[in-house]
A and B are shown apart, each in its own frame.
Chain A
Amino acid sequence: MANDDIILRVERYDPERGPRPYAQSYRVPVRKGMMVLDALNYVRDELDSSLAFRWSCRMGICGSCGMMVNGMPKLTCQDPVDRYRVRAIRIAALDHFPVIRDLVSDISDFMEKLPNIQPWITRTEEKPLSAGEYLQTPEERALYANHAACINCMLCYAACPVYGLDERFLGPAAIALAHRYNLDSRDQGEALRAPYLSLSHSVWECTFVGECSEVCPKHVMPAESIQREKLRLALRWLLPRAAFRRRP
């Protein structure tokens, strides 16, 4: 075995082959600057075309290449192979999601929850077209900018022990996104999002473990946004309605 070869130990699953996952190992020659995703692509191109995994942009933007690498949720296109000072790297589909095949997870649970938080700019009063666009200062944008960087890679769901125990939990990325729109100076939808966010399995289920913020490749800080949403919702409950002036 060449000195700079690495072994990928991939947890595979093929529903047509049987209900149980199985492990398969591949030997991959390491190139300089190789990412885990590059190693997987080498396997598919050179060794085994049946290996299924998702990827698209290879630059940390599309969010489709998330997998468990040595037990940690990682964006594999941003995860250098030489970070792992071991001969064998274990690769599996993201934790806490059903597996469709090999390394491809089924994230429909998230996709179904997402519209409930209305992740778009919601206006209760529209300005007439003639009044021009909704302007925003750089400071107003900075308020939500990092929460808007989410690429829906689902690493945070794979890292969240609460979601792992109870998939009814709305989960980190969805709440961070709700928070992002609640912070947006152009948005007037906070009151519309509040009833769904107040349900038991929404924000309250979070126990602030913080792993989601730890693993997030885009520094969205979902754990922090969840605590802030809890505070907003609690104040909304405790204070008279008049305290919440609508945004212009």
Chain B
Amino acid sequence: MRFLERLEPLLWALFSAGGTIAALLLPVHVFLNNIAMPLGWFRPDDYDYTHAARLLGHPLVKAYLAVFLVPTLFHAAHRIKLLPHELVLPPSPGIATPIAYLIAAALAIAAVVVIVLAP
């Protein structure tokens, strides 16, 4: 836990950045993917596989996705740590926090690998 304590400033920075990014960008993605697309507001070939794959090939899109996903995952881990506080329950058992961060780190690495390797 001493190790986590040393990382607190970094973890909070990721939490804070992730919160801002999630608040600003998630609604846009929810709108695009979950409202606009199902309602057919785009032409089908705007979002078919080849088009999406070509988009993902662009370095700027890769960078955007990494910046979008990594802090958001750490934001989620931090939220899990704070959940008992926010529900006015006793603090979560010490082990829950490192597990949440480990999962976030694993998912972040997986996301970055997928983004980098994508066509």
How many residues on the A side are at the interface (Cβ–Cβ under 8 A)?
16
Q: Interface size class for chain B?
A: 10 to 19
Q: Which of A139-169 contact B (CB under 8 A)?
A: 161-162, 165-166
A199 touches B (CB below 8 Å): yes
A236 CA / B88 CA spacing, docked (Å): 31
State whether A165 touches B16 (Cβ < 8 A).
no
B90 touches A (CB below 8 Å): yes
Nearest residue (CB) in B for A202 is B8
Q: Which of B72-100 contact A (CB under 8 A)?
A: 82, 85-86, 88-91
B-chain residues with CB within 8 Å of residue A166 when the two chains form the complex: 91
- Where chain B touches its partner, the secondary structure class is helix
- Where chain A touches its partner, the secondary structure class is helix
Nearest residue (CB) in A for B89 is A165
Known: A207-B82, A230-B16. A237 touches B88 (CB 8 A): no
State whether A238 touches B13 (Cβ < 8 A).
yes
B119 touches A (CB below 8 Å): no
B113 touches A (CB below 8 Å): no
Known: A165-B88, A165-B91. A199 touches B5 (CB 8 A): yes
A204 CA / B4 CA spacing, docked (Å): 12
State whether A207 touches B9 (Cβ < 8 A).
no
From A165, A230, A231, A238, contact of B85 by CB (8 A): A165
Q: Which residue numbers of B lie inside 8 Å of A, CB to CB?
A: 1, 4-5, 8-10, 12-13, 16, 82, 85-86, 88-91
Q: List 21 A-B contacts (CB under 8 A).
A: A161-B85, A162-B85, A165-B91, A198-B9, A199-B8, A200-B1, A200-B5, A200-B8, A204-B8, A204-B12, A207-B85, A207-B86, A230-B9, A231-B16, A233-B9, A233-B12, A234-B9, A237-B9, A237-B13, A238-B9, A238-B13
Q: Which residue numbers of A lie inside 8 Å of B, CB to CB?
A: 161-162, 165-166, 198-200, 204, 207, 230-231, 233-234, 236-238
Given contacts A198-B8, A198-B9, 12 further A-B contacts (CB under 8 A): A165-B85, A165-B88, A165-B90, A199-B5, A199-B8, A200-B1, A200-B5, A200-B8, A204-B12, A207-B86, A234-B12, A234-B16
